[in-house]
Structure 1
């Protein structure tokens, strides 16, 4: 504005030098231009005032919206806290109800008992080459065909509860296996990444495995044959793993870890095998170790609804005894043996909490009826393997790529009600 005034004064001073009619025309021109400038200044002032007013209104609206959002956020947070409290209360109530009302034992009565016995006789003749017709009804033959389900056991421990859980790290694929040798003083950790491979990663001790960022720091053992599934175990310096051969046959390989050679191999006397766990379709035989030695957990088409158990001689891979258990395959996730008792872990297709719901003791001391349902803590997905270490009394689990240790609390079988 000051610049316009100075310009006007200069023009008026210039106009004084003009005389007559020229001066009148010049003044009229200047008055017209000044009028246009004043009109534009007035328009700018009006627009500026309007914009300022609109900006204040927008600011007030934004502040109001922010206040409402903050109130809604606080309300939502309170609702979430209340929901969490209600969910926790509901879980405790469900746990209590399941503890007070355990699932009924999974036992099925076979109405065609005679037909089943005939099948077992034929199977015995095929495997041994010894006819049973000549000594039919003999007590010794019946024992050979249908071995007794009672077996003496020098171990009297049973699982009381899962007392602690430790998540070590995430290593490798979603499915796999990790374990230690329960016999001797070796601290080596063996990693089987995936459900089909031929390379085992070996860490010298647990701390090295926990702190390592990749498999490059691990020693590697190249196996002569690739493995299948997650049913392998390290026992007494040997690796016992499952190999898939032609015609859907599965071979147990005994591999010495010291000299890197195959010590022995055997095809178990099992026909028409099916996946042993309903939720882990990649495992057909699960070799496990406990306080009494090695066991094989498997399933066949002949008894496709329930899991079977066999005692293995670790020296020559021979089968010492076989059992048909009442534990169903459906929704089974994994299993392990403790003191001669098979513990089957169940879940659902939509992962929830794993639980031990079926127990089969070869000594006949405990059963699913007198053992409470044992839950494992909340986890990531689904256990692809759970390996019990009888020396440490804990389980090495592989859960959706995470390596987890479950510490077990034991009690005597005699203390069961």
Structure 2
């Protein structure tokens, strides 16, 4: 008991002695629990060192963790998975933008195709209405052959009944006993066609403008000796802009061409080079792309009927016309048959004319002229005579040269010609209509012509 009292007294003395140097705090910690803190001054150190001890290091660690948490919560570019996701956000936005762009492109393409479909449907409806109109149109009635009236008593000249006009041939008016039967035989005699020099060319007549860029250059043709299954009014067209030129469009007549309603579309077995194609006796004649090979494509069987290289002919830009377009070989048809206009290394760029066998494409005879092929814009052949055009862009140009294969002589001429649309890439003589067919800067045009001796009827 005395010992306990002694210890208590010592404690009170110590407390009074150190009251000015010790302190006691009480407060709640982070967990809400009561915490007592007892502070005593150091008898040996006047101040604490600046270097952090374990408590400072722990405090720094907690502050670092707190900064990381704040960065993650605020979406900052911190390390770890959250930071990686933040860095991936621009890539996701780019991918989303691309996907939206592609979707918009597809939507635009869909709308364009829908518009084309609607256009085709309208054309189909117009064609069906036209077909119904033609079907409902009555056929022209032929005047029936009226048998002769009975002979008058005593024979002699037959006379029509009173008040009626006789539609009988005068040779039937000779009286005879009984009825007569007329048997007529009709023999088709082709009218002779006169050939002469070209005197003049009329104003250009526009038939149609091409629908797209593929039709900036092209060739259109008509077979002067058409065979089944296509009639003589059939018009053919090839658009020649593009890397895969193989489509041949057929139209029943000029009206359907002007409306843009093809009745036949053929896919040629090999690609076409430029605007030098022609049509003759049921076949398309054209130059195969990037070669001197000529091809005869039979329209009835829709297959290649003949092919042959044109000997020594330049091709694919060696000897074109002045407008270019790989127009090295130009095929045409006139009253004397099938022709090829081209040049060779031996001719040094001068125009060579060759007459071809339309069945085998073999060269029958050739002529070498004195005019350079790249100095003229285009050429055509009428009645065995070659005519060249001075310019393909000038609004008012000239047909400036003529070479006659019959006499093997050439001479300059001056026949005015108009390039209405200022880029004439094809001119050919159409024997069926006795016109010039041309392709002038997207436009299909024709010209009336006059020769020194017209067709004899």
Could you tell me which residue of structure 1 aligns to residue 208 of structure 2?
169
Which of the pair is proportionally richer in helix?
1
Could you tell me which residue of structure 1 aligns to residue 429 of structure 2?
388
Could you tell me which residue of structure 1 aligns to residue 326 of structure 2?
282
Q: Which moved more, 1:227-236 or 1:301-310?
A: 301-310
**Cα offsets for 1:318-358 (capped at 9, x unmatched):** 1011111122223411111111111111116x634332111
Q: Which of these two proteins has the greater Rg computed from alpha carbons?
A: 2
CA change 1:305–1:353 in 2 (3 A) is: farther
| Pairs within 5 Å for 1:175-194 | 175-184=217-226, 185-194=231-240
TM-score by length of 2: 0.52
From 288, 292, 312, the counterpart of 1:250: 292
Q: C-alpha displacement at 1:202, in angstroms? A: 1.0
CA change 1:311–1:393 in 2 (3 A) is: same
CA change 1:289–1:195 in 2 (3 A) is: farther
CA distance in 2 between partners of 1:379 and 1:328 (Å): 25
CA change 1:407–1:263 in 2 (3 A) is: same
Q: Does residue 248 of structure 2 align to residue 209 of structure 1?
A: no
Q: Which runs of 5+ in 2 are unaligned?
A: 1-192
Instruction: Check whether the contact 1:333–1:382 (CA below 8 A) recurs between aligned residues.
Output: no
CA distance in 2 between partners of 1:206 and 1:305 (Å): 37
From 298, 309, 312, the counterpart of 2:353: 309
CA distance in 2 between partners of 1:366 and 1:324 (Å): 10
Q: C-alpha displacement at 1:375, in angstroms? A: 1.4
CA distance in 2 between partners of 1:399 and 1:379 (Å): 7
Three-state SS of the structure 1 residue aligned to 2:411 is coil
Instruction: Check whether the contact 1:195–1:230 (CA below 8 A) recurs between aligned residues.
Output: no
Of structures 1 and 2, the one with the larger relative CO (CA 8 A, separation 6+) is 1
Q: C-alpha displacement at 1:195, in angstroms? A: 4.3
Three-state SS of the structure 1 residue aligned to 2:312 is coil
**Cα offsets for 1:67-95 (capped at 9, x unmatched):** xxxxxxxxxxxxxxxxxxxxxxxxxxxxx
Give the number of aligned pairs.
Answer: 251
Q: Does residue 399 of structure 2 align to residue 356 of structure 1?
A: yes
Instruction: Check whether the contact 2:313–2:343 (CA below 8 A) recurs between aligned residues.
Output: no
CA distance in 2 between partners of 1:236 and 1:224 (Å): 19
Instruction: Check whether the contact 1:326–1:360 (CA below 8 A) recurs between aligned residues.
Output: no
Could you tell me which residue of structure 2 aligns to residue 200 of structure 1?
248
Q: Which aligned runs of 4 or more in structure 1 are off by greater than 6 angstroms?
A: none
Instruction: Check whether the contact 1:195–1:228 (CA below 8 A) recurs between aligned residues.
Output: no
Instruction: Check whether the contact 1:279–1:331 (CA below 8 A) recurs between aligned residues.
Output: no
| Pairs within 5 Å for 1:308-387 | 308-347=352-391, 351-364=394-407, 367-369=410-412, 372-387=413-428
**Cα offsets for 1:193-234 (capped at 9, x unmatched):** 12450111111111011123xx6x542100100101111001
Instruction: Check whether the contact 1:202–1:219 (CA below 8 A) recurs between aligned residues.
Output: yes
Over the aligned positions, Cα root-mean-square deviation in angstroms equals 2.2
**Cα offsets for 1:279-305 (capped at 9, x unmatched):** 234211111000000000001233234
CA distance in 1 between partners of 2:329 and 2:258 (Å): 29
| Pairs within 5 Å for 1:9-408 | 156-172=195-211, 173-184=215-226, 185-195=231-241, 197-212=245-260, 217-245=262-290, 249-273=291-315, 274-347=318-391, 351-364=394-407, 367-369=410-412, 372-408=413-449
